[in-house]
């Protein structure tokens, strides 16, 4: 696979947040705890006080957790919509959310390296008795080359849902039956999505594709597709003419006639490759960030499937 590096919008946006790195984490936490103390002067809502507080890192995990827990827990998400998950920097508001949380649900596979330092600090401030339960939802997923984009395969999503369900049942045994039922219902909807994708893929003539950044390895593996080239977002490197030439040669050789950009990606390089080779360009969402809602994950995955159907299912020549 050819990997071509350039600045993605994900990365550029997250750079804006690097300012917050200047604030020492412990200082941030002291501030957070003082603010929490001030907030408690106002009478908290009684039902909220007894409810489990859960923090998710990215939108798919929010969606999964919301489906399992409904309104039985308070769920907050860290990454704002439109901000890429790879090089994020925590804000003081994020530190407050984590400091207040009972459970922190993360993707894992190195995606949230930007968070590790803070979790250590949270546990130091809280003391051993009040350790934050950190759930790594990638547990049990077959990892490909340390690629964190596991959520883009509904089969992996089902494993992530099971991991979240397990943590919620353990932490809140009073609602155990509810969580088990909701998780089973949601997994059956994921299985339906999985069947839809598999049926669509069977009809596609072209099973090879080029994407903006390396996000679709798990999707490709589960459905017998080939992510044959990637124009990958990276903070340190602009694409060299040599890499662009390699990608273009690869596309010419393979007979690929479509390329996939992303909603937030810089389209310049994609535009020029598509223009030079006469390729059609489509946009696929990597779901690294997005709207927070229970229906969001499955409906966004269906929109991606529709795009793929239009791009790979249609008969046409270059
Ligand atoms: Zn990504």
Distance CA 288, CA 10 (A): 9
Domain annotation covers residue 318: no
Q: Where does a domain end: 139, 166, 192?
A: 192
Statement to judge: residues 141 and 242 lie in one domain = no
Domain boundaries, position 235: 203-312
Statement to judge: residues 241 and 113 lie in one domain = no
Q: Where does a domain end: 192, 211, 234?
A: 192
Statement to judge: residues 34 and 50 lie in one domain = no
289 CA from centroid of ligand 1 (Å): 9
215 CA from centroid of ligand 1 (Å): 5
Is residue 37 exposed (0-12), middle (13-18) or buried (19+ Cβ within 10 Å)? exposed
Statement to judge: residues 52 and 108 lie in one domain = yes
Number of helices (H) and strands (E) in the chain: give both, helices first: 12, 9
- pLDDT computed for residue 173 by the predictor: 96
Domain annotation covers residue 116: yes
175 CA from centroid of ligand 1 (Å): 34
Domain annotation covers residue 317: no
Statement to judge: residues 105 and 123 lie in one domain = yes
173 CA from centroid of ligand 1 (Å): 35
149 CA from centroid of ligand 1 (Å): 6
Distance CA 229, CA 244 (A): 11
232 CA from centroid of ligand 1 (Å): 9
85 CA from centroid of ligand 1 (Å): 7
pLDDT per residue as tens, the chain (318 positions) = 444 443 444 444 444 444 444 455 555 555 555 544 444 444 444 457 789 999 999 999 999 999 999 999 999 999 998 888 988 999 999 999 999 999 999 999 999 999 888 877 887 777 766 789 999 999 999 999 999 999 999 999 999 999 999 999 999 999 999 999 999 999 999 999 999 999 999 999 888 888 888 899 999 999 999 887 777 645 345 677 888 888 889 888 887 888 998 887 667 888 888 999 999 999 999 999 999 999 999 999 999 999 999 999 866 554
233 CA from centroid of ligand 1 (Å): 8
Domain annotation covers residue 222: yes
Statement to judge: residues 62 and 33 lie in one domain = no
Count of domains forming the chain: 3
């Amino acid at each position: 696979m050819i990997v071509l590096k350039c600045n993605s919008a994900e990365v550029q946006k997250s750079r804006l947040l690097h300012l917050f790195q200047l604030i020492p984490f412990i200082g941030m936490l002291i501030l957070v705890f003082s603010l929490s103390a001030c907030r408690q002067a106002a009478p908290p809502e009684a039902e909220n006080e007894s409810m489990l507080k859960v923090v998710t890192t990215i939108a798919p995990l929010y969606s999964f957790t919301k489906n399992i827990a409904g309104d039985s827990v308070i769920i907050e998400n860290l990454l704002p919509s439109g901000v890429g998950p790879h090089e994020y920097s925590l804000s003081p508001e994020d530190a407050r959310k984590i400091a207040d949380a009972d459970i922190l649900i993360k993707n894992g596979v190195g995606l949230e390296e930007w968070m590790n330092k803070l979790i250590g600090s949270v546990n130091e401030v809280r003391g051993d008795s009040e350790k934050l339960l950190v759930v790594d939802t990638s547990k049990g997923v077959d990892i490909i080359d340390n690629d964190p984009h596991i959520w883009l395969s509904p089969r992996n999503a089902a494993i992530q849902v099971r991991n979240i369900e397990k943590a919620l049942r353990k932490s809140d045994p009073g609602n155990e039956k509810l969580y088990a039922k909701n998780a089973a219902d949601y997994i059956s909807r994921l299985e339906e999505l999985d069947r839809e994708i598999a049926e669509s893929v069977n009809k596609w003539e072209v099973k090879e594709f080029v994407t903006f950044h390396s996000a679709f390895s798990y999707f490709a593996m589960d459905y017998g597709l080939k992510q044959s080239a990637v124009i990958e977002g990276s903070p340190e490197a602009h694409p060299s003419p040599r890499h662009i030439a390699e990608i273009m040669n690869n596309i010419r050789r393979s007979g690929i006639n479509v390329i996939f950009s992303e909603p937030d990606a810089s389209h310049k390089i994609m535009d020029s490759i598509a223009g030079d080779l006469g390729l059609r360009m489509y946009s696929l969402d990597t779901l690294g960030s997005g709207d927070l809602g229970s229906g969001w994950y499955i409906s966004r995955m269906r929109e991606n499937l529709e795009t793929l159907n239009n791009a790979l299912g249609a008969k046409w020549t270059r």
